[in-house]
Copies of this chain bind each other. A is one copy, B any other.
Amino acid sequence: MIIDCHGHYTTAPPQLNAFRDGQIAALKGGASPSLAAISDDEIRASLEGAQLKFQRERGTDLTIFSPRASGMGHHIGDSAVSVAWTRACNDLIHRAVGLYPDNFVGVCQLPQSPGAPLEAVVAELERCVTQLGFIGCNLNPDPSGGHWTAPPLTDKFWYPVYEKMAELDVPAMVHVSASCNPAFHATGAHYINADTTAFMQFIQADLFKDFPSLRFIIPHGGGAVPYHWGRYRGLAQDMKRPPLTALLNNVFFDTCVYHQPGIDLLSEVIPVDNILFASEMVGAVRGIDPTTGFHYDDTKRYVEALPLSAADKQKIYEGNARRIFPRLDAQLKAKGK
């Protein structure tokens, strides 16, 4: 089985964005919008020509599926706006999973809001996991959208979320949303910077002493981290912090790196137990690489080309995801998979 641990519902029916536009309009005065009805057929149509088509064409089986990351927009409005938007997005993921239970499993957006306390975040995480069958969440280290006003992920501010994650035994992908800072292009700078930033925060503090079972996936191949693995080993050493291997019970990297040399480096530097297959399709990069004739984000081709044993590739494709998302493993076992 090939599990893609990083897919977003970037192709949701237009009623969802219309609801969001209504929310944004309401911020300037006006009534709060309601989400127009979306039929099952509209959901099917939005997926059949996109995520499901690519699953079939590329030979992947199951996508760990969450709302569009750049759409989370935690910086827009206040906590109540974020809660309403987040519930709409997560509920739509739940419906997609219900229509295609063999193709998708849910991961939730969280109703973060800059400076807001985390009660609503904890409540939505609990709702999604215990009521909707979701297996994890996307946690935004910068709900301000490129101004980086939140404390580091190791700060006690975040502990209520971590307590709930530990209780529910679900991991988080560290994933920012859109950038409202003109310095940062969203998918070209902000996303990658956030990945790099989060890893360095984990080096600096003792978060995993307080939460030994907490698990984070750093997407986009870990940002700059594997490429600069020597720098991070050296910084940890100079700072008298534990070696990076001490983080590897808790921190994992996906394979959203869109060329062969990048995946080669990831595989050379990061232990195979810490790499999860992912493509982020349909996502940040949608074109076809003229040097290969295949989509840039068809990352399975790069993983296939790695000089790894079948057992190691099985870890990247399936085993690690089932270990890191134990609720996924339980769901699959219940289906006899």
Contacts and interface: CB of A to CB of B under 8 A. Distances in A.
Interface of A: 141-142, 146-148, 150-152, 181-185, 187-189, 192-193, 196-197, 200-201, 203-204, 220-221, 223-224, 226-235, 237-238, 257-262, 264-265, 268-269, 284-287, 289, 296-297
Closest 9 CB pairs of A and B: A230-B259, A224-B224, A230-B258, A234-B285, A227-B227, A234-B296, A188-B200, A193-B193, A189-B200
A183 to B, nearest CB: 4
Q: Which of A146, A224, A265 has the most CB of B within 10 A?
A: A224
A131 to B, nearest CB: 33
Contacts of A146: 148
A182 B151 contact: yes
Contacts of A234: 258, 284-287, 289, 296-297
A296 B148 contact: no
Contacts of A284: 231, 234-235
Contacts of A201: 183, 185, 189
Contacts of A233: 258-259, 289, 296
Contacts of A260: 230
B285 A184 contact: no
B203 A231 contact: no
Nearest to A144: B183
A84 to B, nearest CB: 27
Contacts of A268: 261
Contact of A204 (B150, B185, B197, B259): B185
B231 A296 contact: yes
A241 B234 CA distance: 37
Contacts of A150: 183
Given A148-B148, A185-B200, A185-B201, 20 more contacts: A146-B148, A147-B148, A188-B232, A192-B193, A192-B196, A192-B228, A192-B231, A196-B196, A224-B224, A227-B257, A228-B262, A230-B257, A230-B285, A234-B258, A234-B284, A234-B296, A235-B284, A238-B287, A259-B269, A262-B265
A174 to B, nearest CB: 12
B228 A258 contact: yes
Contacts of A221: 227-228
Contacts of A184: 148, 197, 200
A192 B230 CA distance: 13
A260 B181 CA distance: 35
A17 B230 CA distance: 30
17 contacts: A142-B183, A185-B203, A188-B231, A189-B197, A189-B200, A192-B228, A196-B224, A220-B228, A228-B262, A229-B262, A231-B259, A233-B296, A234-B287, A235-B284, A238-B285, A261-B269, A262-B265
Nearest to A268: B261
Contacts of A235: 185, 187-188, 284-285
